Amino acid sequence: MAKMTKEEVIEVAHLARLAITDEEAVHFADQLEAITNAMELLNELDTENVEPTTHVLPLVNVMREDKSIEGLPREMVMKNVKEHEGGQVRVPTILD
């Protein structure tokens, strides 16, 4: 089973831009070691006749048909717009 070291945890925290103390690194090393050890137990299972799956339910293409529908009338939309000009929504300039 893999032993997680404090240094490995500090390196991963650094890569993830997380600030952790040495005490937290030791604590997380113990926790991560327990997690990886639990996952290693799964390697002992016989999965010879188990089909790979991406979802536990047999769902396939559960999507609605992509249909074009009429949107809101422009006049109704413009009633909720703070500023508009020529039928277009006017927004603050963000680039010079």
Torsion sign over Cα 74, 75, 79, 84:
positive
Q: Three-state DSSP class for 88?
A: strand
pLDDT at 15: 97
pLDDT band for position 86 (cuts 50, 70, 90):
confident
What is the C-alpha to C-alpha distance for residues 41 and 7, in angstroms, rounded to an integer? 25
pLDDT at 1: 58
Residue pLDDT, tens place only, 9-60 = 999 999 999 999 999 999 999 999 999 888 888 888 898 998 888 888 877 7
> Letter for the amino acid at 83?
E
Domain 1-45, second-level architecture: Orthogonal Bundle (1.10)
